[in-house]
Amino acid sequence: MKVINIFQKRAATSILMLAVLALTFTACKKNDAVTPDPTPVAPIRDADKVPYYKLQRVENLAAQTDDQNPTTPKTEILFSLDYKKEQPASYAKTSFWDISLSGLYNSFLGGNNNTDATNSGYQGPGKGGITIVQQTFDDVTAIPATADFNTGKGLIGTDDKGSFGTGTGWYLYDFGGTVVGDGSATKVHVAYALGNPLKLADGSTLAARTIIVKTASGDYAKIKMISCYKDVFTPDQMFTDTPHMYFTFEYVIVPAGSTKFEIK
């Protein structure tokens, strides 16, 4: 009888252990089934750089202006989207800037690229470029293929719908004041940014344009150009004698490898 009792106790103990293991395994399976995927973490940014996915605004970035000698070249502006500030000319062969403003009234934009001899970043580390699309800032979500980015200097400026157009541009220049203005003396020689759709004098509306940049480090940014006039952000307040050139724009940066723009 004692032998039988021993075997009975051992059997009971084994059954109890199996039951505990079965319950533990089942609990683990249930927990595994409800555990959510970890939230994706954006790449770590230098503390001095603007964060990814956050809308940035720059107001009144000043450029040299000489209305008596408008075609005389002025000092090129090198601007860092990463650090949200103008950089000195000595930084030309570095990756510390992303867009340049040069040419007539410093109104032509370019990127920072080390392979294009016409670019101020030539033979530096910059691997950027620039392009423009006829869409509003909010509607631009897809990032273009690398082949669509242009690498030269001063590529995007006056739009064909205005005077002295050079293709699809970020602003319309109304030389005679009749394309957008009412023909009065106060509306001649006015440059209208195309960050928003622009109503023309004939009643039609010109589609908005958005600039897309591959930055010097390989990230992506989209830019909405708002004005080149000091403290003036709407077309109805832009006149011949309004202080210029003071660039105002908004932008957002997303990491290299992204396929779309997001603002979070």
Q: What integer pLDDT is reported at residue 105 of this predicted model?
A: 96
Q: What integer pLDDT is reported at residue 31 of this predicted model?
A: 44
CA 144, CA 157: separation in Å to the nearest integer? 20
Peptide bond before residue 225 is cis, with ω within 30 degrees of 0:
no
Q: What integer pLDDT is reported at residue 17 of this predicted model?
A: 43
Q: What integer pLDDT is reported at residue 3 of this predicted model?
A: 41
Q: How many CB atoms lie within 10 A of CB 172?
A: 24
Locate tokens 């005077």: which residue? 163
- Going by their DSSP bridges, the two strands 108-111 and 99-102 should be labelled as antiparallel
Q: What integer pLDDT is reported at residue 44 of this predicted model?
A: 67
Q: What integer pLDDT is reported at residue 113 of this predicted model?
A: 97
Structure tokens at 148: 């669509």
Locate tokens 């000489």: which residue? 66
Looking at this protein, which amino acid is placed at residue 48? D
Q: Could you state, in order of their start, the residue ranges of all structural domains in the chain?
A: 1-35, 56-254
CA 195, CA 222: separation in Å to the nearest integer? 11
Structure tokens at 260: 């779309």
Q: What angle do CA 237, 238, 244 make, to 5 degrees?
A: 130
Is residue 193 a contact partner of residue 227, using CB atoms and an 8 Å limit?
yes
Structure tokens at 46: 């230098």
CA 257, CA 260: separation in Å to the nearest integer? 9
Q: Is the pTM of this model over 0.85?
A: no
CA 74, CA 107: separation in Å to the nearest integer? 11
**Of 91, 165, 161, the residue nearest 126 (C-alpha):** 91
**How confident is the prediction along the chain (264 residues), in pLDDT tens digits per residue?**
444 444 344 444 444 443 433 434 344 444 444 444 444 445 567 889 999 999 999 999 999 999 988 888 889 999 999 999 999 999 999 999 999 999 999 999 999 999 999 999 999 999 999 999 999 999 999 999 988 999 999 999 999 999 999 999 999 999 999 999 999 999 999 999 999 999 999 999 999 999 999 999 999 999 999 999 999 999 999 999 999 999 999 999 999 999 999 999
Handedness of CA 226, 231, 237, 242 (dihedral sign): negative
Q: Alpha carbon of 135 to those of 148, 184, 206, 219: distances in Å?
A: 16, 30, 11, 21
Q: What integer pLDDT is reported at residue 72 of this predicted model?
A: 86
Q: What integer pLDDT is reported at residue 43 of this predicted model?
A: 58
When computed from its CA atoms, the radius of gyration of the chain, rounded to whole angstroms, is: 29
CA 104 to chain centre: 23
Residue 183 has φ and ψ, to the nearest 5°, of: 90, 0
